[in-house]
Structure 1
């Protein structure tokens, strides 16, 4: 039996706690009130570089985060030999991630019942996205005025618009937005993903390869159809 493997990219957040931890946790609680549901939906990497072996409260920090619904997929910095870390549950080591810069945390102060933040300004790329590049805008759409090469990656909180060939990976609706779409003047994608559901190139109907097309989520499946189809 053949072993099938598929790729899926996620935007992981890195939290860097600072001493005193009691004050840092209080600040985290306040941010979680303003960003309802945001942290519970994100994979989190914990960076311990700003702490030391004798930081007060370090031994209970991991449990404090678990109680807040924060899921740790990795831990960086610090030293496993520190006495305060001996009871910690260490996730498997992660390799190969690419830094993406600071992330603006959503503020839900106007409507605290909302679990998804409003989209912000789109990110416009005035030219091609080359192989090996990763372009991310977790808070809005991404518009590419050129080609997206094979091996390149586009990650958007909203929709993705490519005014050229889309040959790389396009990942839309990363923060729980199933109505996001992916538009391309020439659909040749290696991978299409919306709200965690994905489709690899071999699964795209060959009749759409090289054509103007859009991808959308329907009944928990990625569907590719004409770029000129009427929006539902």
Structure 2
């Protein structure tokens, strides 16, 4: 019996609490109230680099985050020898992660995904630019944007994504397991491109293609960016 394995990459958020912790947790509660289920199901790495060993409230921080539905897959920036962390249950750490830039948490109306009714293979056409903080989802076909996608904005589609403008934000295509879809942009400056769960960040894209018409395809479990026109 041959054992088959393949890689699959996911984008994890890095949460960096600041002192005083009580005030930071209040701010987190307000953000969660505004952003709906933004943290739900998303992998989060807790970075303790901005806190000291004797920070008031540090001992209970892990429980406070878990009670708010924050799913931790790793902890960094702290020292297990700190007395306040003696009773923490540390998740198994992951190595090899790369920074992908800041992620803007959507507020208010921007937190509610825009989607068409459940009509199979129907294209969602959006007239105008997609602003930073907006999250547009269409899980029943392609998305066509007649404008640009700002940094911090997110487009999610079950099918392909077509951007007739500049793509500076995040484009996630093939949601639900479609590896044949593509991402097209008249001007590509994307923070993140993802197809069927595999992703590439800005640093992975050939610098010669930045700011040019380009398309992203999935090639042997790797997101590849190629010119739009030959």
Query: How many matched pairs?
Result: 161
Equivalent residues in 2 for 1:22-41 (5 A)?
22-41=22-41
Distance verdict in 2 for CA 1:188–1:99, change over 3 Å: closer
The answer for the alignment partner of 2:183 in structure 1 is: 161
Aligned to 1:171: 194
Alpha-carbon contact 1:43-1:71 (below 8 Å) kept:
yes
1:50 equivalent in alignment to 2:73: no
SS in 2 for 1:91: coil
Q: 1:122-174: per-residue Cα shift (whole Å, max 9, x none)?
A: 559xxxxxxxxxxx9771377699xxxxxxxxx734575248xxxxxx63487
Q: What are the within-5 Å matches in structure 2 for residues 133-144 of structure 1?
A: 139-140=154-155
Q: What is the match of residue 80 of structure 1?
A: 80
What runs of 5+ residues in structure 2 fail to find an aligned partner?
116-133, 137-144, 165-169, 175-181, 186-192, 198-213, 224-230
Q: TM-score, normalised by structure 2?
A: 0.57
Q: Distance in 2 between matches of 1:44 and 1:105?
A: 13
TM-score, length basis structure 1: 0.57
The correspondence of residues 66-105 of structure 1 with structure 2, limited to 5 A, is 66-105=66-105
Q: Is the 8 A contact 2:184 2:215 kept in 1?
A: yes
Which residue matches 1:221?
A: none
Deviations 1:187-218 (A, max 9, x none): 6622289xxxxxxxxxxxxxxxxxxxxxxxxx
Does the 8 Å contact 1:62/1:88 carry over to 2? yes
127, 135, 159: which one pairs with 1:118?
A: 135
Q: CA offsets per residue over residues 19-41 of structure 1, 9 Å max, x none?
A: 11100000000000111001112
Alignment CA distance shift 1:46-1:187 (3 Å): closer
For residues 61 and 90 of structure 2, what CA distance do their matches in structure 1 show?
13
Assess if the C-alpha contact under 8 Å between 1:123 and 1:143 holds in 2: no
C-alpha RMSD over aligned residues: 4.0
Q: Counterpart of 1:224?
A: none
Match of 2:75, SS state, is strand
CA distance in 2, matches of 1:87, 1:186: 46
**Helix, strand or coil: the match of 1:95?**
coil
Matches of 1:157 and 1:186, distance apart in 2: 11
2: distance between equivalents of 1:103 and 1:83? 32
